[in-house]
Amino acid sequence: MHPLFDLSGKVALVTGGSRGIGLASATLLAELGATVVLSSEDAAACEQAASVLRARGLQALGVPCDVGDPGQVEALVEAVLGLGRLDAVVACAGVAPHFGPLVEASEADWEQTFRVNLEANFWLARRVLPQMRQQGGGSLVFIGSLSSLRGNQHIGLYALSKAALAQLARDLAVQWGPFGVRVNAISPGLIRTAFARRLLEDEAFLKRRIAQTPLRRLGEPQDIAGVVALLVSPAGAFITGQNLVVDGGTLISDGG
């Protein structure tokens, strides 16, 4: 393995790690040599995902956590630190409870969206960044969204929370960079996951989106996992404070 991508001896935590982008990222990091801790609020799904990786001879542990509960976030980090170190955190957990115009979103929709998509990631960062500083470095990656860089008909509330998440990455990168800690965000385009099912089932939308994407296809979870691996490995050692768009070119296309 090339040393720029060698994660042997490293420990990585992936929230939202039992499926989709989170699972693809955890799998790749484990294949690159890291011990990975997969977390989601579904305990059975966490353990199932981890057991599949262990069956392949990879180092993986499943630890359930509802990231919307700060006490559970604290317990999750404590469990990971029981492994002796924490080198990388990939924050994939997210929710989109409201689909439709912003003015129709309820107070409960606003509270849940920002609690899980923004506050939970701050709680996680607040707990892990001092540990990374003590170790002499580390990498934190937030999974954002292309929607945060565009106007949206239906997922505006979700987009607002992801725009704030990208700003959180920039602020933390400035504040923690002097200690060797890197913080970045990734903004995926439309990725073929269960999370995106509502959009994927809209045939008219899907046809229009693919036509507006220069690569003329949807993204796959591994497309994002590869960028995650870059950002947490030595290959990404001089990248911090960025919001990397991984969308097949949708954002820059004129739709022609």
For residue 203, what pLDDT is reported?
A: 87
For residue 92, what pLDDT is reported?
A: 96
When the pLDDT of each residue in the chain is averaged and rounded to a whole number, the result is 95
Q: Is the pLDDT of residue 123 over 80?
A: yes
Q: Is the pLDDT of residue 256 over 80?
A: no
Q: Is the pLDDT of residue 202 over 90?
A: no
pTM of the shown model:
0.95
The CA distance from 150 to 220, in Å, is 21
Q: Is the pLDDT of residue 174 over 70?
A: yes
For residue 47, what pLDDT is reported?
A: 95
Q: What does DSSP assign to residue 40?
A: -
For residue 246, what pLDDT is reported?
A: 98
For residue 48, what pLDDT is reported?
A: 96
pLDDT confidence bin for 226, thresholds 50/70/90: very high
41 — phi, psi (to 5°)? -75, -10
Q: Which of 21-25, 189-193, 196-200: highest mean pLDDT? A: 21-25
Q: pLDDT tens digits for 134-172?
A: 999 999 999 999 999 999 988 999 999 999 999 999 999
Helices and strands: H and E segment counts in the chain:
9, 7
Of the candidates 37, 72, 80, 158, the residue annotated as catalytic is 158
For the chain, which domains are there? 1-244 (3.40.50.720)
Task: Mark whether 158 is an active-site residue.
Answer: yes
pLDDT confidence bin for 1, thresholds 50/70/90: confident
Which of 254 and 10 is assigned the larger pLDDT?
Answer: 10
Q: Is the pLDDT of residue 83 over 70?
A: yes
Q: Closest Cα partner for 11 from 54, 52, 61?
A: 61
For residue 172, what pLDDT is reported?
A: 98
Q: Is the pLDDT of residue 196 over 90?
A: no
The CA distance from 176 to 39, in Å, is 25
Provide the H-helix boundaries in 85-155: 107-114, 120-135
Q: Contact at 8 Å (CB) between 179 and 133? A: yes
The CA distance from 256 to 246, in Å, is 19
The token pair that represents 246 in the structure block: 């991984």
For residue 143, what pLDDT is reported?
A: 98
Q: pLDDT tens digits for 40-75?
A: 999 999 999 999 999 999 999 999 999 999 999 999
Those residues whose C-beta lies under 8 Å from the C-beta of residue 78, and which sit 6 or more positions away, are: none
Provide the H-helix boundaries in the chain: 20-31, 43-55, 70-81, 107-114, 120-135, 156-176, 197-200, 203-211, 221-232
For residue 183, what pLDDT is reported?
A: 98
The token pair that represents 226 in the structure block: 């590869």
Q: Is the pLDDT of residue 81 over 80?
A: yes
